Chains A and B, each alone.
Chain A
């Protein structure tokens, strides 16, 4: 039943429901206050497991359909066991997922059928920063590039406009391009 319903929507995006939610949240600013939580636990070496299950939104506790667990680690060239991608690569995963979800939503809202959307996300980094070799080099990415290949029922200009709008409404793009206050405490 659910499958049939999902596939009957253009690009699999239930755009009416999204627009309905947007309208409802405009009138209920409290319900729009969300909090996302990752639970992390160190395993060994540079290997950490993080679990995402519960979050808060629409005024109450919410849950994913099930818990999702991800390992992060460092590759063997850093003398680690490579149990998972590096945390900084996970940031690229977040950016790719967020921008691409945005591309699908915006395209659907504009009545554009997508046949395929592929993105290559690269982040440039000088390790002289994290290794403390050069204080003038930042730890994080010096730059991030997203390269899209999109096959859709639309002109090149329309596709560019969809990608531009997706950036304007992307949470991860915003988190990467703008500073965020981060507080780290010890219990």
Chain B
């Protein structure tokens, strides 16, 4: 086997790229460590639904065609959707194959896997943004009596013992898990750091409709003011639910979740939390306020005011008295909803920055013929969205065509 292009990962990004390459008749293979859409099949909790509404499920040549465009897909429905996508163009997927090393060789790349090695011209890294859950170093200081889970391991409240749960992180995963556990009757503490607060709907429309309509999701990597910061932005504090409910910190405290600042360490027998909680909440409130302001201005400028409901602004996050310590003996489980970190032990070191992330310019890596797809703000703000990876895949497949043309032109000159 000597495919021209090797795509690592058969999730939404890999499949979108496969579809674009198929259209351009470029032979390729998708290498998948497990089954297609693996993370959606094996690393998501039971109740999880997409954060984006169903109509926002547009991949190159394929989109949601069900009867509930304003609903939010369950993880199992996402799996079905992606498997259907792969079938629709007969994506060449090599399952249960783990890439062990990609190295430069003979002007191309040698791809070594646990099921054989082959030579390829182009490599597309499409292993996703939610690869390895990040667990802060403080985890090592916790006693064995406290059980620890990441969102990839969490399934449902039944899995946990009766005692108090500390959920660390208040982005989408953290607030959703904290909410679910509190509803199941468990005492829940939520450690809150930087987060992006958003209402599920505003003036009668889904917040993602607004973000899409205002062009916010299409913002490009080469136009955004502070790219490094934009790429670090935590996931939106949202939940996809049939009743379109807003899940912010006020909603969490209303059902008994107790808010704490960022978890900063363990001293003796106590967990220490930052006293910066009020500022974290105030900052998130201010940013939400600015976005809703921009929405109102857009609605006014485009004559939408009559069709929309009244602008009702969410209440500021209520942070009254809060504690900065919890006794270790008062916690039975800690759930680390602290995001994901890049992990590419199979890539050459020079391709990564000092934090281990892929160095790239809009998905074009530092070595010709290598590409990264589906990373935070890869080419657009929506690069990690099921609805957003398509345009990036399209752009990069065009780049790949240009690269392959250049290589063959060079080879022909070399032959003469």
Contacts and interface: CB of A to CB of B under 8 A. Distances in A.
Interface of A: 29, 157, 160-161, 164-165, 167-168, 173-174, 176-179
B289 A179 contact: no
B264 interface: yes
Contacts of B275: 176-178
Interface in B265-314: 265, 267, 272, 274-276, 279, 282-283, 286, 289-290
Q: In terms of DSSP, what is the predominant structure of the interface of chain A?
A: helix
Contact of A179 (B265, B282, B286, B354): B265
Interface string B131-169: 000000000000000000000000000000000000000
A167 B274 CA distance: 13
Contact of A160 (B272, B286, B354): B286
B261 interface: yes
B283 A177 contact: no
Contacts of A29: 354
Contacts, number: 36
Residue from A29, A167, A176 with most neighbouring chain B CB atoms (10 Å): A167
A131 to B, nearest CB: 22
A168 B278 CA distance: 11
A177 B324 CA distance: 9
Interface in B227-277: 261-262, 264-265, 267, 272, 274-276
Interface string B324-364: 00000000000000000000000000000010000000000
A125 to B, nearest CB: 15
29 contacts: A29-B354, A157-B286, A157-B289, A157-B290, A160-B282, A160-B286, A161-B283, A161-B286, A164-B282, A164-B283, A164-B286, A165-B283, A167-B276, A167-B279, A168-B279, A168-B283, A173-B276, A176-B275, A177-B261, A177-B275, A178-B264, A178-B265, A178-B272, A178-B274, A178-B276, A179-B264, A179-B265, A179-B267, A179-B272
B296 to A, nearest CB: 13
Contacts of B286: 157, 160-161, 164
A161 B279 CA distance: 10
Contacts of B276: 167, 173-174, 177-178
A18 to B, nearest CB: 14
A177 B261 CA distance: 9
Given A160-B286, A178-B265, 5 more contacts: A157-B286, A160-B282, A161-B283, A164-B279, A167-B279
B290 A177 contact: no
Contacts of A173: 276
Contact of A177 (B267, B274, B282, B354): B274
A178 B274 CA distance: 5
Contacts of B354: 29
Nearest to A29: B354
B203 to A, nearest CB: 20
Contacts of A157: 286, 289-290
Nearest 6 pairs of A and B residues by beta carbon: A177-B275, A164-B283, A167-B279, A178-B264, A177-B276, A179-B272
A25 B275 CA distance: 28
A95 to B, nearest CB: 12
A165 B279 CA distance: 9
Nearest to A177: B275
